[in-house]
Structure formats: structure tokens, C-alpha cells
Amino acid sequence: MRRRLKIGSSLLLLGLAGPLLFAGYVAGLTAISIGVPGSGRLIGRCRAAAGLSRRLARDWSGVQVDDPYRPEPPEPQPDAEGWYRYDNTVYRRPTLVRYLQRVLWIGEDPATGRDLDFFLLNTIIGPVLGLGVVLFGRAPLELHGRWVRSRLGPRTERSWQRWTVRGLRDLWRLAVLFALSLLNLLVAVLVIALFVISHVLFVLQGWPLAAGLAARMAGLGRGLAGSWSGVPTAQTYLPLVEPEPTSDGLYRVGRSLKRTPTAALWRARYRRATTDPATWRDLLWLLGDAPITALLLAPAVLLVWVFGWGAWISVWVRLGDLLLGTGAPWAELSGPARWLAETPLIGIPLGLACGIAVLAAAPGLLRAHGRWTHWLLSPTRRAELAQRVGELSRTRADATAAEDVELRRIERDLHDGTQARLVALGMKLGAAEQLLAHDPDRARELLDQSKSDSGHALAELRALVRGIRPPVLTERGLVDAIRALALDLDVTVDVEGDLPGRCPSAVEAAAYFTTRELITNALKHARAGTVRVGIAHEGRLRIAVVDDGVGGADPDRGSGLRGIRTRLGTFDGTLQLSSPPGGPTEAIVEIPCALS
């Protein structure tokens, strides 16, 4: 009986600690999302409490419950230039990269939502099972083991479980967004103060710094709108107009002339921060994010309040009254809270209904916040056109440089290979002509060598022409050219799909060499045994190259993949790469073009 009392009291205490653990977990998630130091330790303590429930289920019930958490992300590694890369951004130190990885590691782990779910539900189920252990012994203890395994063990979630986890996850994300909105409001006040101070004191260098701070906070909002709300929002600012040197040694920025390039650069930054509409939209978003987020969070807070008093506090207090005889602690209350506590037949069903309603409404409220962010922070037509012009200028310059490199390669190959062989062939023919009268055998030998050299020169010319544009590509088209390429390889390359017409010649060449480079990378770097190539045209040419190699391809580290993007950028094409460690690797090339 003493053991029953010990186990029952332990289950009761763990159940009653559920609200504190839930609040601590949410506080830790909120803190780590906004970068508070040491917040990971709070989450670790809450996860340790969940681990204690797993160990007790194993020791008391004999039910093995393994840890369901995803493995900790590896330590960030620098690239060849000493920078740390994360999400198309480079950092000088690994601290911020490590922090961002840990945020995703904890926040995106499904086990995090299951922990929160367990802490809430165990507030009711834990004391009930503890009382059952005291009264009935073994059977409720086995139920406790199964309960812990169903909530805290690794498993394939059912649809209602995924729905519950998603609702809890989006609910705490809304709470994090509200905390960030308060920070955004403080930043907005600071930016306005810096704007006023810099213009009153005529220290104009302070305004670009303040605009940069606002842009960073708005960039964080755009990122969260895309990753959390599913509403991607592009980040487009007007490009910085570089100062132009004049003939008299000055530097012109707009209509202003500066004596030094540093002063001219600060003037250019000030001019961009003042004239770019994105700067003022960032500031407006920072000011309005707090009231908009509070308005979106208000229904969720109301539903959580009704759930707490109706289905949570009421049951918890009545269990305490039943087990400990503490009386009715709601006697001092008044208003709706007392009514919900005194009428459990209405309060409990109403509270449970509100709990379900808040889980159902959380994803929609989160998407509404993402749409608000997209509506205000999405780029204007002017900014999109400026970005497009800059991108076209950059790709044109890259294409010109690549063309120059290719012409130099062809010139070098002709000069060092075919030209040298043809010169040697001419000298041998001249020597054979001189020897033909008095030494015909030697002349015949030189003619045989010249015949062999002419064959080698012809083979080199054919290889050079094939490197410029394969004849099969000109004669048969892109699909047959890729099939011919696959036949020359020692591994299995499956080419699927067909095109109802011919692409423009330049597009065909770019697509062919891009596909060849992707297949070569799969064989050389990924050590693939099978490669599948799919070709289709749905308004644009689409080529998918999938291999079964080791994966781990990074377009920011390999010059080959960067070259592919440069080649495609000339035609407004894109390269989408998915290459997790361990494979498989999938590269999707898309080029806008019409078929003839």
C-alpha cells in the first residue's frame, strides 16, 4: 500500500506540475526565438521532465519509451573562404548560425508539440491515474505506461494528432510573434528618434544606420511569414547608386557633389534610405505589427481563458477538493470565472469546445498575420523592376565574361592542339616531297605518318566542335542529344519525356550543357549508380535530374553549380537543388521558352 501511495502521489504531482511545465516550455520557445541567452537550458529542463515520465513508465509499467527528439544539429563549419553560410547568407562567426540552427531544431521538431500536448492533458489524466493506482493497483499503472508511450514516444502521427500538434505549434508561434511585435514597436520608436536626431543635429549618417536596423527587423518578419505562415514575401530594396567621379576630382551623388568617396558613399546611402519606399513600409510595419498581432491574438486568448476556467481549472480544483478536502477555492471569485467553476456540467464541455476551437483557429490566425506582413512588406512594382534590371545587367555581364572565357579556350585548343598538328603535318609532307626522288621508302613512311596525323587532327576538330555544339543536338534536338549522351556513359541513365517541338537554338545548347554538367556531378562527386532525367515543357522547359548518390551538394561551394546558374541566368532560367546528406539529389532546371 505504501508503494501505491508513493506512485499515486508521484503521478499526482507530475500532473499538477503540467501547467508550470507547459508555461516554462512556451517561455523557453519564445525566449529562444527572440535570442534570449540561456533559453535553451529552460527547454532542456522541461524536456528532462518529459524524460522523467518516460523513465517512470519504464520502471513502473515495464513500457519502454524511447526519446523521440531529432538529433542535435552539427556544429557550423566554415567554407573555403572562412565564412559560415546559412540560408543564402554568410556570417563571419558561427554564433548566429548555431543559434538559428537550434531554433529550427527545437521549434520544427514534432516532439516539441507532443511534449506541450502531454503537459496539458496530463494535468487531468495524471491525477486520475494516480488515484486509480492508489485504489486499484496494477491496472491503472499499465494504463499510465501506455498513455506516456502514446504521447511521448516516437510514432507515426495520426491525422487528429497532427492537427493537435499543428494547433499547439501555431499557437505558440502566435505568442512569439506578439513578443516580437512589441520588440518591433520599440525598434520603430528608436528609428523615428534616430531620424529626428540625425536631421535636427544634421548628422545624416545616423539615418542609414537606423534604416538598416528597420530593414533587419522587417527581414526577420518576412522570413517568419514565409517559414511559419506559409506566405513567402520577397525582400526587394532599391540598389545603391554608386558615386560617379567627375572631371574636377569630385564625386557626384544625384545633384550633390562630395570631395571624398567616403562622404559620397554615405550620401548615396542616405539618399537610398530616404527615397526607397521599402524603408517607409518597413517603418510602418514595425509600428503596426503590435496592434495587428494583438488583434489577431485576442480571439485565441479569449478561447484559452474559457478553456482554462471551464475544462482545466474546474477539473483540477475539484480533484483537489476530492482528494485533499480543500473546499471550494472559487468562493472569492466573481463574474464569468466563478460561473464556469461552479457549473462543471456546462463549463467543462464549453471549455473543451473552446480548446478545440483555439487549436482549429490558430493556423488561420497565423496565416492572417503572414498575409498582413506580405501586404505591407511585399516589394513595389518600382522595386521589382529595379531588381530585374540589376539582375539582367549582372547576368549579361556574366554571360559576356563566360563567352570570352569560352572563346579563349577554343583559341587555346586550336593553337596548342590542331594548329600545331597541322603545322607538323605540312612539314612532314614537305619532307616527303623532297625525299620522293632519291629515297621513296622514307617518303612513303612520312606519308603514312602524315595520314595518321591528319586523322588525329580531324578527331580533335570533331571533339572541339562537339564541345561547342554537338551535331546530334542540331540534327535531332535536345531529347535525342541527351539520350546519345547517356549511351556514352558506363552507368544507367534513364531519360524520360519528350518535347512536341524544338526550343530555340541557344536555349537547347544551354539546357544540353547544363544537363551534362549535372550528370557529370552526379557521377563524379555523388558517386551515383543510377541517374534519371525527366524532360517536359509546360509553358517553360523543365528538366529534372535525380540521382541515388551520397547527396550533400551545395551550390554556394561548387563552382560547377555556380556556373550552371550563370548559364541559366542569361535566359532567365532557374536551378532548384535538393540534396540532403545521404541523398538523393534532385536538380530541377526551368527555362522560359516557346517551342517551334
For 239, the 3-state DSSP assignment is coil
Predicted confidence band at 106 (pLDDT cuts at 50, 70, 90)?
A: confident
More confident residue, 433 or 198: 198
Tens digit of each residue's pLDDT (9 = 90 or more) over 404-413: 666 676 666 6
Of 442, 462, 465, 466, residue with least CA distance to 454:
462
Q: Report whether 86 contacts 79 (CB < 8 A).
A: no
Checking if the pLDDT of 51 tops 90, the result is no
- Contact partners, residue 386, CB within 8 Å, separation at least 6: 236, 238, 239
The residue with greater pLDDT, 35 or 126, is: 126
Phi-psi region of 497 (alpha: psi -120 to 50; beta: other; left: phi over 0): left
Q: What is the pLDDT of residues 462-515, one digit of tens each?
A: 666 665 667 777 778 888 888 888 887 777 788 888 888 888 887 888 888 888
Higher pLDDT, 585 or 399: 585
The mean per-residue pLDDT over the stretch 136-150 comes to 76
| 568 closest CA partner among 589, 594, 540, 585 | 589
Instruction: Give 333's pLDDT tier (boundaries 50, 70, 90).
Output: low
pLDDT of residue 313: 61
Of residues 176 and 106, the one with the higher pLDDT is 176
Residue 32 clears pLDDT 90, i.e. is over it: no
Give how far Cα 418 sits from Cα of 391, 423, 461, 470, 471, Å.
39, 9, 7, 18, 19
List, as one string, the DSSP characters of 378-390.
SPPHHHHHHHHHH
Whole-model pTM: value is: 0.50
Q: Do residues 188 and 218 lie in contact, with contact meaning Cβ atoms separated by under 8 Å?
A: no
Mean pLDDT of 447-457: 74
Residue 433, amino acid: E
Q: What is the pLDDT confidence band of residue 7, given thresholds at 50, 70 and 90? A: confident
Distance of CA 311 to the CA centre of its chain: 39
pLDDT averaged over every residue in the chain: 77
300 vs 309: which has the higher pLDDT: 300
Phi, psi at 492, each rounded to 5°: -80, 120
Buried b (16+ CB within 10 A) or exposed e, 455-475: eebeebbeeeeeeebbebbee
Q: Is the pLDDT of residue 132 over 70?
A: yes
Residue 324 has pLDDT above 50, yes or no: no
pLDDT winner (highest mean) among 20-24, 285-289, 383-387: 285-289
Residue by residue, DSSP assigns 6-39 as HHHHHHHHHHHTHHHHHHHHHHHHHHHHTT-TTH
Q: What is the DSSP letter of 331?
A: G
Question: Under the phi-then-psi rule, with left for phi > 0, alpha for psi from -120 to 50, and beta for the rest, what region is 390?
Answer: alpha
Give per-residue pLDDT as tens, 269-307: 888 888 888 888 899 999 999 999 999 999 888 888 777
Within 207-254, strands assigned E span: 244-245, 251-253
- Asked if the model's pLDDT at residue 362 lies above 70, the reply is yes
How far is Cα 126 from Cα 252, in angstroms, rounded to an integer? 74
